[in-house]
Structure formats: C-alpha cells, structure tokens
Amino acid sequence: MSKPIHFPPDFLWGSATSAYQIEGAPLADGAGHSIWTRFAATPGKIANGDTGDIACDHYHRWREDVALMRSLGLKAYRFSVSWSRILPQGTGAVNEAGIAFYEKLIDELLANGIEPMLTLYHWDLPAALDDRGGWLNPAIADWFADYARVLFERFDGRVCFWTTLNEPWVVTDGGYLHGPLAPGHRNLYEAPIASHNLLRAHGAAVKVYREIGKHRIGLVVNIEPKYPASDEPQDIAATRRADAYMNRQYLDPVFHGHYPAELKEIFGAAWPDWPREDFDLIGQKLDYIGINYYTRSVCRHEETNWPLKVAAVRQTQSTHMETGWEVFPQGLTDTLVEFRRRYGDLPVYVMENGSTFYDPPNAEDGQMHDPLRVDCLKKNLHALHAAIEQGVDLRGYMVWSLLDNLEWSLGFAKRFGIVHVNFETQQRTPKDSALLYAQVVASNGACL
C-alpha cells in the first residue's frame, strides 16, 4: 500500500484557460482585431475552418463557468486578458467595456472564493500592433508595459497573481520560425528578434509592477525536458541544442543574464549581438515561476531538420495530440527538480498540465467517461508530489484545461478539457477527470 499523499496545506488547486480559446465574441463591445482573429479568417490556417468567433461563448457564459469552477471546489482560476479588448489599437484609448468584462469575471471569482490568476499575454497580439511590426518592433516593450500598467492600476489587489507572458517559446517558434501559429511567419532572422522583444516586454512589465503593484508577478514558460536517444556524441549534442532552444532560451536570460551559447550555434548569422543593458531589463526579480508541462522529447541528431538538426524519437504510450505527445509523468518531476537545481529555490506553480484524448461518446448513464485522461492526471499528480518530496517549493497546480476549447491551429478537435463542451449547444458536462479532480482538490491530494 503506497503511503498517503499530502500536498502542502495551502496548495493552490485550480484550472487554466486563455481568452481566444474560450471567450468567443472577440470583436464585441469595441474590442479590436488580434493576430488570431485575422489568422482564423485566413483559409487553411485552422483545422476544419474552426475559429474563436464563438468558442465556448465564455464572454456571455462567464457566470455559469465560475459556478462550474465552484462546483468542482477549485481554489484558483488562471485566465488571460485579451489585450485588444482593453486597448483596441494596442496603445492609446482604453475600452471601458473590455475592462468591465474582466472586472465582472474577477469579482465573481472572488465572490466564489476562487483566486484569480491573470495572464497579460496569451498569444492574441492586437492586430494594430502587428501592423507596426508587433514582436519584431523593439517599441513593443513599451507598448506592453503601458498595457500592463492599465490592468495593474485597475485590478491589483483583487488580482494578486500576475503573469506577464504565457509560453514565449511557442509564440516565437510557432509564430515566427516555423509558422503554424499567428502571425504565421517562417523566418530564421525574425525568431530571435521576437523572442528577445518578448523577454524585454516581460521585464518592462515587471518593472512597472514593482513601481505600483503590491502582490506577485511571474513568467510562465513551457518546459519539455530533453533526453538523448543514445549516448552517441551527436545525439548528446542534439539534445543539448534542443534544451537550449526550447527551455533555457527564456530561463537563462531571466535568471542568469545571458542566453545559452547553443543559440548562436543554431542561428548562426541570424543571431544578433544583444545590447548588454537589455539583460538588466529582462532579469527583473520574479516572485514565482510558472511551468507548463505536457511531455518530454527523446532527441537524436538529424542533419536535415531545420534549423536545430534535431529529430524527436516517437515513443510508445502517447496522447492524441497531433505529434503524439508521450505520457511521461517522470518528465514533470525531472523538470521541476532540474529547475530548482539550475535556477534556485523560487516558488513554482505548474500553470498548465493536461492531455488530449478522443473522448468516447456519452455512455448510457449520461456520464462523460475519459479513462485515458483520468489515468494521465493521476500519474502526473503523483509525479508532482514526487517533486515536492525532492525539495521543490511547489505552490500550486492548474489543470489544462477547465473546458474543451480551441486548440489554436488544431481547432476544436483536440479536446483538453476536464469538462466537455458541446459546441453546438454550449452545454458543459464534467468528465470523469473533473470528478476525480474535484476529489483531489477536496482531499488536498490524499485521495490519490
């Protein structure tokens, strides 16, 4: 009999979503276009022609969704704000209707004893700023800081957990290097510039928060631990490059004041010499780090793969993600322990963790059974606890996601929710994974 699991007494159990993936009505009440409303309107960019025009209709169903969170006993809810609802042109005049939407949501969360965790940027850049160069324009650090200041001034105190960016790696790898995500660029020279400006913008927003904020602010990065496919020197080198590119490209500048040397090796002439003072801005002290974990990658050298010369070796049990994300809970433990070893004892929150499987249809009993997701969730939560036992200062866990939602260019077919959404009727149905998660929250993990 394994010994009972106990998480820290005030462990923050919650769930996570993002604006464009669940809200719908992206242009309602004065909101401006984002790079995702444009991308979605471009044929072929999102599977099945899906768009975020309706999504989970959360813009109108937010009260019902908070009640759903309450019914599951959630302690926290991580959501993102759509920049172009607040500043339709990205800078300048504030759209009070946009402020009002998020104010209602925040107050409803607080009224239900749920901690609001606000992400300033989860990929939906105002289109008006993209027209001015977006993440390729160094001025975006000021644009982002000004946007952040509006929200800090309006909501700090009701919001006590702030995140600047969600997964900067995905923004640049998907939006500027390989192109499957908005704004859909494929350019070796643009990716490092976008990455660097994201980090500068992150630092500029944290600096503003230190002037006027009174609570906590951090950064959320996706970490995919890299394991060599063999002990061949070229596979070891390939693994090192992959780790530097995906994981250390963001954490090293923030915590160590420089980029990993491998990035110059990967990008060559496309890798600029960055001004030293940029790292003073990027390296603002954080109150916590948010880590998103989904899977690991087993790496081998592959000369033909651009630009990293790395290939992932497909593993056995994987989720139904399009690239078959392996179910590898040990990778979550390894990621958290390695963060502490490499960057120190900062408080850590797992801000996203989840899985997508083709859910079987409703059973005769009307219950939405999702055995594969239940199994995955249990294994990941045990892995989480193993990290705590190894000394990681883990403060909370946000399951991705509360609701089935728009999985970006993969559309609605990739369902990550612990609650099923019927996108025709907008009916929400808790899956078995939601019922399990409610027990985990209620017992603080002891039921595992």
Ligand X SMILES: OC[C@H]1NNC[C@@H](O)[C@@H]1O
| Alpha helix segments (H runs only) across 283-361 | 329-343
- Name the residue nearer to ligand X (CB basis): 95 or 222: 222
**Whole-angstrom distance, CA of residue 176 vs CA of residue 191:** 5
How many Å is the maximal CA-CA distance in the chain? 63
- Name the residue nearer to ligand X (CB basis): 258 or 314: 314
**Whole-angstrom distance, CA of residue 230 vs CA of residue 373:** 30
**Whole-angstrom distance, CA of residue 394 vs CA of residue 396:** 6
CB of residue 400 to ligand X, shortest distance in Å: 6
Number of other residues whose CB lies within 10 A of the CB of residue 58: 25
Binding test (CB under 6 A) with ligand X, winner from 12, 15, 18, 319: 18
Full DSSP string of 220-255: EEE---EEESSS-HHHHHHHHHHHIIIIIHHHHHHH
- Name the residue nearer to ligand X (CB basis): 227 or 416: 416
Q: Please give the radius of gyration of the chain, using alpha carbons only, rounded to the nearest integer.
A: 21
**Consecutive H or E run containing 350:** strand 348-352
CB of residue 14 to ligand X, shortest distance in Å: 15
**Whole-angstrom distance, CA of residue 68 vs CA of residue 88:** 30
- Name the residue nearer to ligand X (CB basis): 79 or 400: 400
| Amino acid residing at 86 | I
- Name the residue nearer to ligand X (CB basis): 412 or 416: 416
**Whole-angstrom distance, CA of residue 201 vs CA of residue 100:** 25
- Name the residue nearer to ligand X (CB basis): 228 or 396: 396
When asked if residue 407 is in the footprint of ligand X (CB under 6 A), the reply is yes
232 is catalytic: no
How many of the chain's residues bind ligand X (CB under 6 A)?
8
**Whole-angstrom distance, CA of residue 127 vs CA of residue 322:** 28
**Consecutive H or E run containing 360:** none
- Cα–Cα distances (Å) from 22 to 56, 76, 113, 175, in that order, read 5, 17, 22, 20
Binding test (CB under 6 A) with ligand X, winner from 250, 255, 400, 437: 400
Structure tokens at 27: 């242009």
**Whole-angstrom distance, CA of residue 154 vs CA of residue 100:** 10
Write down the catalytic residue from 23, 224, 352, 407. Answer: 352
- Name the residue nearer to ligand X (CB basis): 250 or 279: 250
Phi/psi for 121 (5° steps) reads -135, 110
Binding test (CB under 6 A) with ligand X, winner from 82, 292, 335, 433: 292
When asked if residue 23 is in the footprint of ligand X (CB under 6 A), the reply is no
Q: Which distant-in-sequence residues (6+ apart) come within 8 Å of 230 by Cβ?
A: 300
CB of residue 345 to ligand X, shortest distance in Å: 25
- Per-residue interface string for the shown chain with ligand X, residues 136-165, x marking contact by CB under 6 A: ------------------------------
When asked if residue 80 is in the footprint of ligand X (CB under 6 A), the reply is no
CB of residue 295 to ligand X, shortest distance in Å: 10
Strands (DSSP E) contained in 19-168 are: 76-80, 115-121, 161-166
211 is catalytic: no
Write down the catalytic residue from 23, 108, 167, 407. Answer: 167
Binding test (CB under 6 A) with ligand X, winner from 352, 370, 404, 432: 352
When asked if residue 416 is in the footprint of ligand X (CB under 6 A), the reply is yes
CB of residue 175 to ligand X, shortest distance in Å: 13
Q: Which distant-in-sequence residues (6+ apart) come within 8 Å of 94 by Cβ?
A: 86, 87, 150
Residue 325 C-beta-side C-alpha neighbours within 13 Å: 20
When asked if residue 167 is in the footprint of ligand X (CB under 6 A), the reply is yes
When asked if residue 124 is in the footprint of ligand X (CB under 6 A), the reply is no
CB of residue 356 to ligand X, shortest distance in Å: 7
CB of residue 325 to ligand X, shortest distance in Å: 8
When asked if residue 319 is in the footprint of ligand X (CB under 6 A), the reply is no
Residues 223 and 167: beta-carbon distance below 8 Å: no
- Name the residue nearer to ligand X (CB basis): 21 or 284: 21
**Whole-angstrom distance, CA of residue 424 vs CA of residue 84:** 27
Q: What are the residues facing 118 on neighbouring strands?
A: 79, 162
CB of residue 167 to ligand X, shortest distance in Å: 6
- Name the residue nearer to ligand X (CB basis): 78 or 200: 78
CB of residue 191 to ligand X, shortest distance in Å: 18
- Which residues make up the interface to ligand X (CB under 6 A)? 18, 21, 167, 292, 352, 400, 407, 416
Q: Which residues are catalytic?
A: 167, 352
